[in-house]
Structure 1
Amino acid sequence: MTVRCVLRGCVAASALLLAACELPNAEARREAAALTGGDPSYGPPLMRKYGCQACHTIPGVAGADGLVGPPLSGIASRSYIGGVLPNTPENMMKWIMNPKGVDSLTAMPNTGVTDSDVRHIAAYLYTLR
């Protein structure tokens, strides 16, 4: 067996592994889009635009290693948002847009997230299971 054959086998195996990893992710993205009416692929750049990475560690968002707010990994599986709201798409969007309106004592600032942007951000967060 030549080195070239071994490399081809490794490339093929890697492609299969990547495809297998994408299946649940693709399903999570479809479900999140259906729940929120947003596109999860727009979430990471919007989260950077609004500065979420300054306070939160967010999987899939470059430079999001903040230590002020809670890490957002697994947020889709949590029972509550901000410790005060049941985790529903409507509540997630409400919290993102106006956290101080929900809990005046929260350290999370209102960042000016728009109605259209909040759907995409929430859609992305609902892929983080």
Structure 2
Amino acid sequence: MSAHVEHASHGAHEHPDHVPVYIKLAVVLSVLTGIEVAILFVALPDALMLTGLYGLAALKFGLVVAMFMHLKYDNKILTGIFFSGFTIALATMFAMVALINYQPTKTSIHVKTSKELAALNAGDASKGPEVFMAKGCAACHAISSLPGAVGAVGPKLDGLSQRAAALGGKDYIKQSIDNPNAVVVEGYPAGLMPANLKASMSDDEYKNLISYLETL
């Protein structure tokens, strides 16, 4: 009788009741599944979302395998082989996620509009009077708004932009400096403007002077 009881007790020890453990595992799996569903409704970057979903799936897989295949009771060598393969699989999975979501840097090419190009070629009108005086233009031309510009050899430049509008606008003003004798104002002889005026100016000075004359 005592031997039978001892054998029964020993058998119960060899086959413990796993029901509570299975219930705990089911709860854990349910929670992990709930987290997976929640991730789908949260605005996350694709890489982060995929990583989270794959990671949770791998965790659930590991829990199920560890419990239902009794890996914790297996030979340590076999368990090591399993987890080595499992680790490699995880590393491969994350590498694939990174590769799928990798986007090479794109070099954007901005084509400038005509307005932007015009802005690049425009000068600083506020610096135009300085150029006008420095290049001796005031000795021949008068501008009522510019002190010291009282020349009477050439035409007065007040209202120049309005007169130029009928003759080509900015192009006319530029031509008057680039090639002064191309168009001569009526009542004034040719050859008064120095032909090398543009050559005596830097690019910035030239642009600044043109921009200033456009405001007159």
TM-score by length of 2: 0.37
2:149, 2:209 → 1: CA distance?
14
Matched, 1:39 2:154: no
Among 89, 92, 107, which residue is 2:170 paired with?
89
Mapped contact 1:43–1:123 kept (Cα < 8 A): yes
2:215, 2:167 → 1: CA distance?
17
Q: How does 1:51-90 map to 2 (within 5 A)?
A: 51-79=136-164, 86-90=167-171
Name the aligned partner's letter for residue 46 of structure 1.
Answer: V
TM-score by length of 1: 0.58
Q: What is aligned with 1:18?
A: none
1:107 offset after TM fit, Å? Answer: 2.0
2:208 alignment partner, SS class? helix
Matched, 1:121 2:121: no
2:158, 2:142 → 1: CA distance?
8
Name the aligned partner's letter for residue 116 of structure 1.
Answer: D
Q: What is aligned with 2:9?
A: none
Q: Give the gaps of 5 or more residues in structure 1.
A: 1-32
Mapped contact 2:142–2:157 kept (Cα < 8 A): yes
Structure number, greater radius of gyration: 2
After superposition, the C-alpha distances for 1:32-86 in whole angstroms (9 at most, x for unaligned) are x85x611110110100111000011013332110111111000000047xxxx92
Percent identity among equivalent residues? 36
2:148, 2:122 → 1: CA distance?
26
Q: CA RMSD in A?
A: 2.7
2:144, 2:210 → 1: CA distance?
14
Among 172, 179, 195, which residue is 1:98 paired with?
179
Q: 1:64 to 1:94 in 2, by over 3 A?
A: same
Mapped contact 2:131–2:205 kept (Cα < 8 A): yes
Name the aligned partner's letter for residue 168 of structure 2.
Answer: N
Q: What is aligned with 1:10?
A: none
2:173, 2:209 → 1: CA distance?
9
User: 1 or 2 for the larger relative contact order (CA 8 Å, sep ≥6)?
Assistant: 1
1:47, 1:111 → 2: CA distance?
15
1:103 offset after TM fit, Å? Answer: 4.7
1:61, 1:86 → 2: CA distance?
24
Q: 1:59 to 1:40 in 2, by over 3 A?
A: farther
Q: Which has the higher helix share?
A: 2
2:141, 2:149 → 1: CA distance?
6
2:130, 2:164 → 1: CA distance?
26
2:194, 2:207 → 1: CA distance?
18
- Count of aligned pairs: 91
Q: Give the gaps of 5 or more residues in structure 2.
A: 1-117, 185-189
